[in-house]
Amino acid sequence: MTRLLLALLIALSAATALAIEPLPFRDAAEEARFRALIAELRCVMCQSQSLADSNSMIASDLRREVFDLMQQGRSDAEIKDFLVERYSEFVLYRPPLNPTTWLLWFAPALILLGGAIALVRVMRRRAAALDPTAPRGPANQDTPEDW
Amino acid sequence: MQRWLPLLAFATLAVLLFAGVRLSGQRDPNALPSPLVGRQAPAFALPDFRNPERIVTNADLLGAPYLLNVWGSWCPTCRYEHPIITEIAEQGLVKVVGYNYKDEPEDARRWLQQFGDPYALIIVDRDGRRAIDWGIYGAPETFLVDARGKVIFKHAGPVTWDIVREKLVPLLQKEAAP
């Protein structure tokens, strides 16, 4: 049974292989650079996918364009600039870290921190309420006996 | 104050989400902002649909503003906006140039026969390479270019009468009366 599951898992992992058409790369290094680059660019039509993952027509066209630009000798930064000039910064799948995207990058961590702080405070208050040796005052009235 | 905090948090979230729903009803949240607006239209040299031997360039279109309407026979939404594009051309609001994007000439011909051909000129981009310079990623898309060749407006998606009234007409009036 585990063998079957393992076989299935391996077979399905091939489904995440890049949906790209074969392009005439000069060598493996060029292909690796191409794949890294298209994983960092967004498909402008299917906008939650990278150029590497998307099957749409425009993604295919843009992959071809990235390949041609690479052949022309442009650097990764130049290729990204080329596309940002035409499609806006949204085409970068990995948003750059600058004042406008600061909140985008750090908001999840900040919210997590806020949640953790709130949790600690609630737990402290609960612990104080259940502690029989704590001074009894208006804040500590809701002990189990009162229910 | 502590007991009101959850309600306050919920109310803030509710207001934000409601605002988001209202905003997304007004414009397509998936439409990309165009960095081309305010810049010169990208240089192109594309064949004339009606006379493929003739190559049309930007220089040929200088001197009067034009509406560049990106369409294809494969694009279903283009059929919805086509009556509006036709009306714009027939009313003489602005010169309407068709950009036949990633299409087969025979299919395009048949489409124009079926739905009408209001275009002053149609340029053909068969493989879509020049379209990347315009930041085109699908059809329909429409650009408004002024007499000096500067892109002054772009809309991704079908042109509606609201857009004509609220965006195109004011921009064209500003163009006409400097």
Flag if B33 and A47 touch (Cβ within 8 Å).
Answer: no
Flag if A58 and B133 touch (Cβ within 8 Å).
Answer: no
User: What distance in Å separates residue A45's CA from the closest CA in chain B?
Assistant: 7
Q: Is A104 on the interface with B (CB under 8 A)?
A: no
| Total-model pTM | 0.75
Provide the CA B109 distance to its chain's centre, in angstroms. 21
| CB pairs A-B closer than 8 Å | 38
Dump pLDDT digits (tens) for B151-170: 999 999 999 999 999 999 99
> Does pLDDT of B25 surpass 80?
no
In chain A, residues with a C-beta closer than 8 Å to the C-beta of B126 are none
In chain B, residues with a C-beta closer than 8 Å to the C-beta of A47 are 30
Buried-exposed string A55-77: b where 16+ CB fall within 10 A, e elsewhere: ebebbbbbbbbbbebbeeeeeee
Mind listing the pLDDT tens digit of every residue in chain A (147 residues)? 888 888 888 777 654 455 567 888 888 888 899 999 999 998 888 888 888 888 888 999 999 999 999 999 999 999 999 999 999 888 888 777 777 778 888 989 999 999 999 899 989 988 888 877 766 666 655 555 555
Instruction: Give the angle subtended at the CA of B100 by the CAs of B74 and B125, to the nearest 5°.
Output: 115
Spatial distance between the Cα atoms of B99 and B135, rounded to a whole number of angstroms: 13
Residue A115 per-residue DSSP state: H
Give the lowest-confidence range in A5-14, A38-47, B91-100, B139-148: A5-14
Spatial distance between the Cα atoms of B115 and B86, rounded to a whole number of angstroms: 9
Q: How far apart, in Å, are the Cα atoms of A82 and each of A59, B131, B135, B156? A: 15, 14, 11, 20
> If we measure between CA atoms, which residue out of B61, B83, B56, B58 comes closest to residue B71?
B83
Flag if B35 and A90 touch (Cβ within 8 Å).
Answer: no
Average pLDDT over residues B106-115: 96
